[in-house]
Amino acid sequence: MKNLFTNLILFIALSIAFSSFTACNTATTQKGPVLDDAPNNSNTANANTDTAKTSKYPPAPSGIMQADIKDIDGNTFKLEDKKGKVILVNLWAIWCGPCITEMPHLREMQEKYKDKNFEVIGLNTGNEDYETESNEKIKIFAEKQKLNYQLGHSDEKMTGEFIKLSRQSGIPQSVLINREGKTTGIFFGAGSRVINSMKEAVDKTVNE
């Protein structure tokens, strides 16, 4: 009985530790409530695979598609401008360990599908105090991590739009958008199951 109790405590401790390694909390970036009519993505950690099995994908929210995004070279663009391409929009931060763990897989997908009108877009959510990280700092980080995809900033308002969509307040989280501007997958965390689901969804969406 003593061994059973000890093993139970150890399992709980490991479960808590594991969850801290797969995502970072960014709850304070969302000032308002999650909308009641937001999609119910209780299974976002495993991707929105049930939706992805159908041909009726929901349009990506206008608050995400039409927001002005500043990239680290000082240019401004909208995700709406990317229609015709498959885009994987990833929220991340320099201080987020799981985000860094996920990056080699994002690099891999960018390289693998770059000739099929696929783009990874990494949007930095700021430092641990939710203040904007400088372009210079992000460029140094990106060079160190050998990132091969477009990087920009997600301000508080846009990050809030992602939280409304995913119902998850942590990072990394990613949204997969098809060529018609519709959401085909939502992914939260950097666990192996999430990453594998993301890769499968990207492959399917790129080849549709």
What number of other Cβ atoms are within 10 A of residue 35's Cβ?
13
Percent of the chain with pLDDT over 70: 73
Of 48 and 133, the structure prediction assigns the larger pLDDT to: 133
- Per residue in 111-149, pLDDT tens? 999 999 999 999 999 987 768 889 999 999 999 999 999
Residues 90-95, mean pLDDT to the nearest whole number? 96
Residue 26: pLDDT band with limits 50, 70, 90: low
Q: What is the pLDDT of residues 156-168, one digit of tens each?
A: 999 999 999 999 9
pLDDT at residue 43 in the model: 38
Q: Is the pLDDT of residue 102 over 70?
A: yes
Rounded to whole angstroms, the Cα distance separating 194 from 132 reads 27
Round to whole Å and give the CA distance between 187 and 200: 12
Average pLDDT, the chain: 80
Asked whether the beta carbons of 185 and 52 are under 8 A apart, the reply is yes
Cα 125 to Cα 77, 78, 95, distances in angstroms: 17, 17, 10
Q: List, in order of start, the domains of the chain with CATH numbers.
A: 2-206 (3.40.30.10)
As a whole number, mean pLDDT of residues 172-183 equals: 97
pLDDT tens per residue across span 58-86:
999 999 999 999 999 999 999 999 999 99
